[in-house]
């Protein structure tokens, strides 16, 4: 549940920040009458994300076992790629997010209502599709269809509340620290999803080495124990991984974590949210 709570919180907070900045800018520039198209774009993005998740779930249930393993493994690898790109992108561009969105919104205001809808839809839709894909792959990896969804929903609800508090100016947060800590945790979660994706491909017969185990600590950490369930739910930990799984996990998490935690020279601290959202007292 924690891993999915984290992805829901982080992706949801990114979307909340986007909506918060768009609405605050429209209110500040006396364009309250243009809020409806923005909310329409947000609603369409949410609907698309839900439809995408439903299509993944119900579409995969009609496939053969081998096809399911191929789909699950392939989408796990794709989702890890997207999440990796997302954590690096947000770390790099968080400080410029407000000015970038303001520029897009100015252009959309000049074009018309349809452009406003598209701006909000594109800004929120990307996070929604990434969230749907990553949560679906996490559900497949854990084999539990309830707790991952509950965790993701709680994360999204938390992010919505935080977004509202940011807009009202009732809460400030240092984006640099927030995205660094959550990004580092997501790298570990993504490593587990990636390893399980390769295990799916092994189970489907697409990759060799299914019965070549790196180690087996099942007697010490039973998968049905509370701590085994906790480790699996948070990190997709498996007490008896294959050599390929362990190798893929290490080859991903070590270089990606090192690159992510490295501090490029000349980077300025990202300001606390609150200033970024430019909250107003209107409305």
Share of the chain above pLDDT 90, in %: 16
Q: Which of 223 and 39 is assigned the larger pLDDT?
A: 39
Residues 6+ positions from 152 with CB-CB distance below 8 Å? 4, 5, 7, 8, 131, 135
Q: What is the predicted pLDDT for the residue at 175? A: 65
Dihedral sign for Cα atoms in the order 12, 17, 23, 27: positive
Q: Which helix (H) or strand (E) holds 278?
A: none
Please determine, for residue 268, whether its predicted confidence score (pLDDT) is greater than 60: no
pLDDT of residue 278: 47
Do residues 211 and 243 make contact, with C-beta atoms less than 8 angstroms apart? no
Average pLDDT rounded to a whole number, residues 19-31: 82
pLDDT of res. 257: 93
Mean pLDDT on 238-260:
93
* HSE value, Cβ hemisphere, 13 Å, CA-based, for 9: 18
pLDDT tens digits along 171-229: 676 766 777 887 888 888 888 889 988 999 999 999 999 999 999 998 888 877 777 77
Q: What is the DSSP letter of 224?
A: T
Buried b (16+ CB within 10 A) or exposed e, 255-270: ebeeebeeeeeeeeeb
For residue 47, the model assigns a pLDDT of: 92
DSSP 271: P
Q: pTM surpassing 0.75?
A: no
User: Is it the case that residue 246 has pLDDT exceeding 90?
Assistant: yes
**pLDDT confidence of residue 263:** 65
Mean pLDDT along residues 64-85: 87
Q: How many CB atoms lie within 10 A of CB 122?
A: 13
CB 130 within 8 A of CB 86: yes
Q: Tokens representing 69?
A: 């393993």
């Amino acid at each position: 549940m924690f891993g999915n709570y984290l992805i829901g919180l982080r992706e949801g907070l990114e979307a909340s920040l986007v909506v918060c900045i768009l609405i605050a800018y429209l209110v500040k520039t006396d364009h309250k009458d243009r809020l409806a198209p923005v909310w329409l774009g947000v609603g369409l993005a949410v609907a698309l994300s839900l439809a995408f998740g439903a299509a993944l779930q119900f579409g995969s249930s009609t496939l053969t076992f081998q096809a399911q393993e191929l789909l699950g493994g392939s989408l796990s690898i794709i989702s890890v790629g997207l999440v990796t790109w997302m954590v690096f992108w947000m770390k790099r561009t968080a400080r410029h997010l407000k000015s970038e969105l303001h520029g897009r919104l100015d252009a959309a205001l000049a074009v018309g209502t349809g452009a406003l809808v598209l701006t909000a839809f594109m800004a929120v839709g990307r996070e929604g599709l990434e969230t749907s894909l990553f949560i679906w792959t996490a559900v497949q990896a854990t084999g539990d269809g309830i707790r991952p969804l509950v965790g993701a929903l709680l994360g999204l609800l938390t992010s919505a509340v935080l977004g509202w508090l940011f807009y009202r100016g009732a809460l400030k947060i240092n984006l640099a620290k927030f995205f660094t800590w959550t990004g580092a945790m997501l790298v570990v979660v993504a490593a587990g999803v990636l390893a399980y994706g390769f295990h799916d491909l092994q189970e489907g017969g697409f990759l060799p080495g299914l019965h070549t185990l790196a180690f087996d600590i099942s007697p010490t950490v039973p998968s049905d124990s509370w701590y085994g369930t906790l480790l699996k739910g948070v990190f997709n930990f498996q007490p008896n991984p294959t050599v390929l799984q362990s190798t893929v996990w290490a080859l991903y998490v070590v270089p990606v974590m090192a690159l992510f935690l490295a501090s490029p020279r000349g980077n300025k601290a990202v300001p606390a949210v609150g200033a970024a959202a430019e909250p107003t007292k209107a409305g």
